[in-house]
Amino acid sequence: MRTAEIRRRFLDYFAARGHQVVPSAPLLYNDPTLLFVNAGMVPFKPYFTGAETPPYDRATSVQKCVRTLDIEEVGKTTRHGTFFQMNGNFSFGDYFKAEAIRFAWELVTGSQDDGFLGFDPNRVWVTVLHSDDEAARLWENIAGLPPERIQRRGLLDNYWNMGIPGPGGPCSEIYYDRGPEYGREGGPVVDEDRYLEIWNLVFMQEELSTVRAKDDFDVLADLPRKNIDTGMGLERVATLLQGVDNLYEIDEVVGVLRKAAELSGRTYGAEGGHDDDVRMRVVADHVRSGLMLIADGVTPGNEARGYVLRRLLRRVVRSMRLLGVTDPVLPELLPVSRDVMKASYPEVERDWDRIAGIAYAEEEAFRRTLVSGTQIFDVAVADTRKGGGSTLSGDRAFQLHDTYGFPIDLTLEMASEQGLSVDADGFRRLMAEQKARAKADAKSKKAGAQAVEVYRELRATGVTPFTGYSELASDTSIRGIVLDGDLVASAAEGDVVEVVLERTPFYAESGGQDSDAGTITGDGFELEVVDVQRPVKGLVVHRVRVARGELQSGTDVLAQVDGEWRLGACQAHSGTHVMHAALRQVLGPTALQSGSYNKPGYLRLDFAWQGGLSQATRSDVEEAANRAIRADLDVSATYMPLATAREIGALALFGETYDEEVRVVEMGGPWSRELCGGTHVQHSSQVGLVTITTESSVGSGVRRVEAFVGIEAFRYLAAERSLVHGLTETLKVQPDQLVDRVGRLVAQLKDAERQIAELRSRQVLAEAGSIVARAHEMWGVDYIGHAAPGVAGNDLRSLALEVRNRVQDRAAVVAVVGGSADKPSVVVVTTEGARHRRLSAGDLVRVASETLGGRGGGKPDIAQGGGSDGSKSQEALTAVEHAIGHVLQS
């Protein structure tokens, strides 16, 4: 049974039993505690915690997930994969244990001819929490399982919680016996390779007050509404139903594995080919993960999500290289994954041009990194040998890996070719420390999530209606005051607190739009609004400074948005939509927005694109935007079902999640049609003017344009006009002659600088004769030390070489110190006769550079360095002289 069919059967089964089918949330979910969605229940977490009221009593989904903590284990075991799909059914205070067990048993063991999955019921085992007699009894009564196939386990294995105070409860896991060829008898408590877990049923029934560890927590009380959260590993079920050994060999993955084998000329599963098999499995897993991450809007980068994607794609290239393939591989592998995944996720085909462009550009960048990394590796090898060692240090290997993106496997391979080993233990220790820091950061973020408890309490009393689409001032009242995470009854003048209103005209920062500014006034007090946020869905929180008087909770107030600020915000946000549409008009439909920020007078928009925009293209985009503004396009906002919005082509921002009812903002009908909750002008002409100020790269395959909007755009252009006017007055030319005139001046200046440099060089070299005359003989070697203040760069090097040319017939060392007082430079050269006396320019320049407060190095015949203290020039020359004497006398 194909994976897509298993997925369909699961959703159909629960839909037929009253469950709302919920589409998968994007992998980039709006949760500060998560890098990516890593479990099927993540989109439903606000319902389980009570932060939001669920719109349905029961739901089902197949959720895309990514986990990367065990990335190094991918391919080595049959259980580790980075991207996976989690089938789930959920109950929010509706059915509980008995129904969850009945549903699971029927779907798992029911006949395939009847639409079920058709597992042999005699090979099904389950585990329950050691104290959960009820679950054990239900499995016996509902499924008819004998007691020996119902195993009890402790809290570590069979209790679920989020790691923070909140809901928790016992689990019951379903396992399938793969047979004696896969391991020992005795059930999952003995061997979890033979007995493969396929489904976990979580019975949320308790409220936890303190969570110290997965198996160490305090139970506050029973939940008033008991919930069900289940997770069935789609890939694991496919492994069993397709009769293959592991998840890398199922239909959605194996195609890439076979293509990797074909490109490399290796045979998967060949005797003695364990390492090759691991590499092919890594490729198969990571190609699919990279495809799905890019499809959901992730772009390669050096931090957080972007770094994970970059690492996955680079591990593909590295693994193929270790398989002997040095040509570009993603153009061969990625389309294979697209073709099998598009049945379940049509967006991978719809957005293919963008996805492929990002992935292929990243591979090309890594291929360049491999070249530069090899050079850095060669330096590390040389330093190791120079120190008399035979082991590349762990910190050098980690530096290559972490700073330069050079994979450790390649470092090990290349070191072996050079006859060196690598301190792998030291490397692993540094990697472990980095992982520990990452886990600590994640834990701190998770701990920070506890601070929203007060917001959940306020949200439980109702949402905060936003009235700002139709008014700038609202009569309202203060629902709550928050200070340092606690509810307080009042706030005094000068305090900075957070205020929740019963209704508000203030726009909370979201969708790239900055929050509104304004005031909240009441009887005897005035609050200055400095920020507005939505810490939990449906609740608007105003950060305010008490400018006058004393604030009391429950007081009636007037909330007033600054009209000028809102006008500027509307212009900037509408201008962002105009800029996005103009980019797509000029560049094509793949130039999709991947992020934005706007505030009064300014907008910033990130979009998918390879390579910088020429000045002509920038001008075309700017003109397209301003023509749309001049056209006075009608701007409208309409609410409609999400499915309808997608059907009419409304664009959604990557990483955002949307309700089933969405707001679609249109400008000129289909010219610009986007899902958006922000505030906008009523006609495009009200934007006024857009002028692009910069265009730059913010990551592989992502460009950024910044622009001024409205009056700020006019001021920007007025300042440029003033600058042009000043230049034309100074140069006595017309504006249209300015570029030519400045060009001629620059050419003349460069010519003059070249002539000056030539004169200075001749003057410097003219001193060579007098410098040679001051040579000092030491044990048969002439030492010529000379201070040349103000001489630097090539001139200093040329002077040293010219002096050496005049003493080539004898053993001689020339040291010249120049540069400036705060940035001295030194060059040391030696003749062949001096080198026969064991005098090396590289060794001597290090002595001089250290005296100058810096470093230096080079070859035995010529070397250079520098420092930070030019007052020690003579000391540096004397130090070289002493070093020469030490070598000659030893």
pLDDT in tens, 289-313: 999 999 988 888 877 788 889 889 9
Q: What is the mean pLDDT of each run of 10 residues along the chain (890 residues)?
A: 95 96 87 81 87 90 88 73 94 96 97 95 97 96 96 95 88 96 94 94 93 90 92 95 92 95 92 87 95 90 82 90 92 96 92 90 85 77 82 84 69 77 84 69 47 78 93 95 90 94 95 94 95 91 95 94 96 97 93 91 92 93 96 95 89 73 93 94 96 88 92 93 90 88 91 80 78 90 92 87 91 94 93 94 93 91 92 94 90
Fold of 566-718: Threonyl-tRNA Synthetase; Chain A, domain 2 (3.30.980)
pLDDT at residue 677, as a whole number: 92
The β-bridge partners of 518 are 529, 561
pLDDT at residue 244, as a whole number: 93
Closest C-alpha to 318, from 187, 413, 196, 210: 413
Is 776 part of any known ligand binding site?
no
- Asked whether the beta carbons of 126 and 139 are under 8 A apart, the reply is yes
pLDDT at residue 735, as a whole number: 86
Q: Which two tokens stand for residue 3?
A: 């994976």
Question: Where are the chain's structural domains?
Answer: 3-244, 251-422, 468-561, 566-718, 733-765, 767-889
How far apart CA 375 and CA 396 sit, in angstroms, is 13
Q: Which residue in this structure is represented by tokens 């998560």?
A: 34
Task: Give the SS3 label for residue 770.
Answer: helix
The string of DSSP letters for 455-472 reads: HHHHHTT----B-TTT-S
Q: Which two tokens stand for residue 813?
A: 């060392």
Chain-centre distance for alpha carbon 748:
48
How far apart CA 177 and CA 180 sit, in angstroms, is 8
User: Which option is the CATH number for 468-561: 2.40.30.130, 3.40.50.300, 3.90.1150.10, 2.60.40.60?
Assistant: 2.40.30.130
- What contacts 571, CB < 8 A, 6 or more positions away? 600, 601, 681, 686, 687, 688, 709, 710
Q: How far, CA to CA in Å, does 677 sit from each of 201, 252, 509, 562, 666?
A: 37, 37, 10, 19, 12
Is 676 part of any known ligand binding site?
yes
First to last CA, the chain: 81
Phi, psi of 660 (to 5 degrees): -65, -25
- Kindly report the three-state secondary structure assignment for every residue of 246-291: CHHHCHHHHHHHHHHHHHHCCCCCCCCCHHHHHHHHHHHHHHHHHH
pLDDT at residue 563, as a whole number: 95
Closest C-alpha to 784, from 812, 754, 819, 748: 812
Q: Other C-beta atoms within 10 Å of 643: how many?
A: 10
Cα atoms in the 13 Å half-sphere on the side-chain side of 676: 25
pLDDT at residue 32, as a whole number: 64
Yes or no: is domain 3-244 CATH 3.40.50.620?
no
Yes or no: is domain 767-889 CATH 3.40.50.920?
no
How far apart CA 462 and CA 581 sit, in angstroms, is 37
pLDDT at residue 429, as a whole number: 85
pLDDT at residue 414, as a whole number: 73
The β-bridge partners of 818 are 825
Closest C-alpha to 320, from 262, 366, 279: 279
Structure pTM?
0.69
Q: Would you call 445 exposed, middle or buried from its count of C-beta atoms within 10 A (0-12, 13-18, 19+)? A: middle
